[in-house]
Structure 1
Amino acid sequence: MTSHGGRTDTSLDAIEWIKRAQELGCGELLVNSIDADGTLDGFDIELLEAVKSFSRVPVIASGGAGSAQDFVAGAKAGADALLAASIFHDGKVTIQEAKAALRAAGFETR
């Protein structure tokens, strides 16, 4: 696990730290894969599924969305919420398109 935008190695195991954060009473988890962030290659589904397998709190997936279908993949992996920036700033996909893809796949949006 890293901090400072991926520049500093903390020598912590991400999964162990997330478990500890829950023990300390966190209300939700923002899971941002620095390796995927800004790549437009999709959310880190493997990490998301690992976190969801033991999380007792809502999980927000962040980093990597590059298509409307990436939001569907993140939701199917169990994300309670999906966060994206580059995809919208670059105009590659609109928020409405991402929501439409989610609704078409059977997921509720706001």
Structure 2
Amino acid sequence: MRGALAVSAKLDGLHVVRGADMLTSYRFNTGAAEHFFCSQCGIYTHHQRRSNANEYGVNVACLEGMSPFDFDEVPVLDGEKHPSDNGGRTRMAGVLRFVRAGNDD
């Protein structure tokens, strides 16, 4: 459970502008997807997708000028069965909604 909001980018559409020398990668289960994280703080930055090897999944929190709170709703997958192991079907667990607090400033 990494708790990150991932968006898609084509392989040639992602450019690490700072800290590439600090990234570490790992593979698990089938070994098809390569996951990258910061070797200093441990944050998940991106991964080459198992479901589409031509794309990266990129942690929005690692993109300058973006925040997970920029999205009103985020679909949440169940995390149990990968679409590649489930006949191509994605299993939804639900939706996270961000509701801004009323600030009386």
TM-score range, shorter chain: under 0.3
Q: Give the TM-score, by structure 1 length.
A: 0.22
Which protein shows a greater Rg?
A: 2
More strand by share: 2
Q: Give the TM-score, by structure 2 length.
A: 0.23
